[in-house]
Amino acid sequence: MLLNVKNTTVMNPLDWLAPHTCRGCGLIGNVLCARCKKYISTNFSNICPVCKHEKSGLKCPHCPDFPECFCLGKREDILALLIHDFKYNSTRAIGVTLASLLAERLPDFPENSCFVPLPTSTRHVRERGFDHTYFIAKRVAKKKHLKVKRLFVRTANTVQVGSDRNTRLAQAEHAFAINPKVAINENTTYILFDDVWTTGASMNAAIKKLRDAGARKIVVTLLATSSLD
């Protein structure tokens, strides 16, 4: 437990009181045991969030307009449990584990790439005590020896959970904007990160805003794809 302190910056006090148990099998010791970690690595594949096809490379052959993308898998099974526990119980140790699962599967990117977390609503940050999207992006970026940049600023404090698909699509376009203080460089690879793709409204809005601002190299990274249906 003490060894985790360096990686988690601020520990949830509850983490100190009870030992972690593996969310997959209940084994005491860690939030994800080695066997369950291997299960995720071998049973979850990189899925295109747009057409849901499994793919081996970053580019989806069916979706030419969508950027290169890596997604850990569908939001189901143990991956769904981990994401739920991280987001709604704020278990930081799970965030650390999810970040390492993603970092291990990502290829190396050019040196001038940067990770860009999609902005989280301030209400969620307040409720959860931290920005869970930034939390993971920061750790993945560190493991890949890259910077993390908060490129987007929220312009509306809309919360997407529970909104229907059409409402989400309409809200996303106006929910955030590129920080006017940040210059977009056409030679930089912007690695967008969000935890879960549901309708894709937020991610598609982010891609469009970056492209409109002059970005030429965009990669999308996700923990999981889900659907409202």
Interacting residue with Zn ion among 22, 79, 93, 172 (CB under 5 A): 22
60 binds Zn ion (CB under 5 A): yes
3-state helix, strand, coil in the chain (%, to 5): 40, 20, 40
Interacting residue with Zn ion among 38, 62, 154, 174 (CB under 5 A): 62
- Give the angle subtended at the CA of 129 by the CAs of 165 and 176, to the nearest 5°: 40
210 binds Zn ion (CB under 5 A): no
Would you say 58 or 177 has its CB closer to Zn ion? 58
Would you say 97 or 120 has its CB closer to Zn ion? 97
Interacting residue with Zn ion among 51, 153, 170, 183 (CB under 5 A): 51
CA 74/CA 48 separation, integer angstroms:
10
Q: Which stretch binds Zn ion (CB under 5 A): 31-39, 111-119, 160-168, 181-189?
A: 31-39
> Are 191 and 113 within 8 A, CB to CB?
yes
Three-state secondary structure string covering 179-201 = CCCCCCCCCCEEEEEEEEECCCH
Residues contributing to the site for Zn ion (CB under 5 A): 22, 24-25, 27, 33, 36, 48, 50-51, 60, 62-63
